[in-house]
Amino acid sequence: MKTFRPIFTVLAVAGVLCGAALAESPRNLLFYGNSFTLGVGSTEAESFGGVPEVVRQLAIAAGFPAPRVENAAVSGQSLAWHLANNTAVITDPADFAEVPDFQWDAVILQEYSTNPTHIGDPPGFRTDALTLFGLVRGHSPGARAVLYETWARGPGHSFYFGNPPLFPGGPAQMQQELRANYELAREDLAAAFGADSVAVASVGDAWEATGWADLHADDIYHANTRGTYLAGLVLFGTIYGQRTTAGLPKLFASLTAAEAAELQAVADQFLPPGRPFDYDGDGNVDAGDLPGLATCLAGPELPYPPGSGCGVLDGNGDGGIDLSDVALMQAAAYQRPPWLRLDVWDMTFTVSQGAGTESQPNTVTTSDGSSPTVQLTAVDLLTQATPTWLSLPAVVSPATPFTVGVDVTGLSASTYYARVTAAAAGYEGASFTVTLHVTPAGGSQTLFFDFGDVGQQTPGNYNNVTHLQAPITNAIDNNGLATGITLTVTDAFWPGWNQSGITSPTGDAAIFDGLATRDSLFGCTVTFDGYLEPTAGFTLSGLSTTPGVTYTFTFFASRLGVTDNRETAYTVAGANTGVAYLDASNNVANVAVVAGIQPDAGGRITVALSPGPNNNNASGFYYIGALKVVRNGP
């Protein structure tokens, strides 16, 4: 709902502001992220310098002093990895010489692309963003955080298929989860450091607004050149408070001027404070923005100072603020309606087969503290019907907790999804996702996984994790029965495979098929063929949370024809943690076992891989070729 309001009838400005640009020092920008920041997915964009260089060049073209840019992004890594391994750049940047009293103006924080969704770790993302920004503020008290909201996988990606798919609602569902969690992270940072300390660069939302039009690389995952350019536009506009349609260059040879102009127009729709003319950033265009107009109004063809924030008032994009912009502002006067919010937007249940029920609370609130009647409706995302396994009240009151319940009676072992929508007359609505993992009832359960080449998969009752690193949804057990368990790579391996493993395993390794042991996925601590993956990992979700249930993990890896030590550390973490080590060099019989691991409260166990303490390989290669997972307990 859009409401227009008159904001002024007469605006008198005594005197004319001069158009001379204010002197400004170069800004210091720190980029944390991974391949989405580096421009991986487009050889042209990556060799150009990725998103940080796009931002730098746009700033120069817009008339700002060339910013000093520290690109601390590392392919495949999360903010948690940066916290553990990459904080020295905060006080000692590597990409430029420090100036006296060096301070950061902005830190750009880009999380691993699935972590802010239900297949990742949204609370962990928010904590890591808050902690990392806190370290930057400890060095630079005036620094501002820019949260680089990433994009959903493109239409046709494996995330949206399978039985069940990870995101039954398609790219729109994944983008909604990214948007919601980046906004929650923004609120966390604003609460800790002040409302003006943080902004979200809505890159993913801008991608979605194009209809995902030719922005993804061939893997339907990374950005192509157009996608990297659009990301850079949104980040530049967010960092500098400037519109991008004021004659900025296309930068890339493969882009046409028309394409660049099209992408600039899209980017401008997603620049904070959220809409043109909203100078004070409160989400409305109203009388509160008049002081900004009075400050910026100069006259026809007189440019406003770079960095002044006046760009948001430049309605016609001519580089100056004049009476034509006043007229446009009057026409655009806008008051955002109140909106609904939910305390929990992603609710997960893990229940064993049978007649079990579980419930969790949720609460809806309003932005203005009012108490409308709120209607709740639900739809099963697989069948598009009302979910019979889900119960919730039809009507709720704001600020009053309500109960969301699930009932697994008659359900087979699998994963079920529903979307619950909250609506009230005159309010922007809200929604949350309910995920129900139904695990097989009681007793032991065994699953086998083969890690390796997409062209060399193990048939039968194996789950194949290929070098494409797509999730395994509703994994089968050794009897071929669906389990409701999902394996998701949450820390990328090197994007290929090794085929030099044993084909006839013996000893303890004889439990694995030779087709599974002959190839493996791996990582490296030194750049290898253009990629650096010093750690890797995956998460199993949909595991049983029944008291007393534990899981045993048996790992195997083999790399024949070498003489050095290529030990891998396998760290397995749920409610408790265990670690085991295995040297893949010429291994034909040995395995590594971690036993007695309990899933966390959400039914998840995470496996992290890295070189072991005895690994002396020059590239730090580490491996996984096959995995056996056994459920133990009642």
Report yes or no on 315 lying in a domain. no
* Assigned token pair, 47: 């060799």
Rg (CA), the chain: 26
pLDDT of residue 571: 97
pLDDT in tens, 466-480: 988 878 878 889 888
Residue 433: exposed, middle, or buried by beta-carbon count in 10 A (0-12, 13-18, 19+)?
buried
Other Cβ atoms less than 10 A from the Cβ of 560: the count is: 15
Report yes or no on 267 lying in a domain. yes
Residue 11 sits at φ, ψ, to 5 deg, of: -130, 115
**Domain shared by 415 and 451, yes or no:** no
Nearest of 572, 570, 579, 568 to residue 614 by alpha carbon = 568
pLDDT of residue 490: 85
Going 311 to 315 to 318 to 324, the CA torsion angle's sign is negative
What distance in Å separates the CA atoms of residue 219 and residue 608, rounded to the nearest whole number?
A: 24
> Which segment of 182-196, 299-313, 421-435 scores lowest on mean pLDDT?
299-313
Give the CATH number for residue 377: 2.60.40.10
What distance in Å separates the CA atoms of residue 600 and residue 83, rounded to the nearest whole number?
A: 23
CB 386 within 8 A of CB 426: no
Other Cβ atoms less than 10 A from the Cβ of 171: the count is: 23
Query: Which of 414, 439, 464 is the last residue in one of the domains?
Result: 439
Query: Which of 283, 300, 317 is the last residue in one of the domains?
Result: 283
**Domain shared by 477 and 532, yes or no:** yes
Bridge-based pairing of strands 445-452 and 463-466 is: parallel
pLDDT of residue 454: 85
pLDDT in tens, 13-46: 322 222 222 335 789 999 999 999 999 999 999 9
DSSP state of 283: S
Give the CATH number for residue 567: 2.60.120
Interval 448-474 mean pLDDT: 90
Report yes or no on 323 lying in a domain. no
> Higher-confidence residue: 47 or 296?
47
Interval 318-324 mean pLDDT: 77
Strand order in the sheet with 536-541: 486-491, 536-541, 605-611, 567-573, 577-583
Give the CATH number for residue 41: 3.40.50.1110
Q: Measuring CA to CA, how many Å separate 521 from each of 328, 450, 493, 516, 624?
A: 57, 9, 7, 11, 6
In the chain, the amino acid numbered 41 is G
Element (H, E) at 36: helix 35-38
The domain of 364 spans 340-439
Report yes or no on 89 lying in a domain. yes
CB 90 within 8 A of CB 139: yes
Could you tell me which residues come within 8 angstroms of residue 587 by beta carbon, excluding any fewer than 6 positions away? 502, 509, 556, 557, 558, 559
**Domain shared by 399 and 488, yes or no:** no
Report yes or no on 127 lying in a domain. yes
Bridge-based pairing of strands 521-528 and 550-556 is: unpaired
Model confidence at 1: pLDDT above 60 = no
Q: Helix or strand or coil: residue 588?
A: coil
> Higher-confidence residue: 121 or 144?
144
What would the DSSP string read from start to end of 105-116? SEEEE---TTTT
Residue that has been written with the tokens 């694995």 in this structure: 512
**Domain shared by 524 and 393, yes or no:** no
In the chain, the amino acid numbered 190 is A
In the chain, the amino acid numbered 516 is A
Nearest of 582, 394, 389, 595 to residue 501 by alpha carbon = 582
Interval 274-284 mean pLDDT: 65
Average pLDDT, the chain: 87
pLDDT in tens, 152-180: 999 988 888 766 678 888 898 899 899 98
**Domain shared by 416 and 507, yes or no:** no
Q: Helix or strand or coil: residue 392?
A: coil
pLDDT of residue 471: 83
What distance in Å separates the CA atoms of residue 468 and residue 364, rounded to the nearest whole number?
A: 40
Entry field: residues in the chain: 634
Q: How many domains does the chain have?
A: 3
pLDDT in tens, 190-212: 999 988 799 999 999 999 999 99
Q: Helix or strand or coil: residue 9?
A: coil
**Domain shared by 384 and 357, yes or no:** yes
In the chain, the amino acid numbered 454 is V
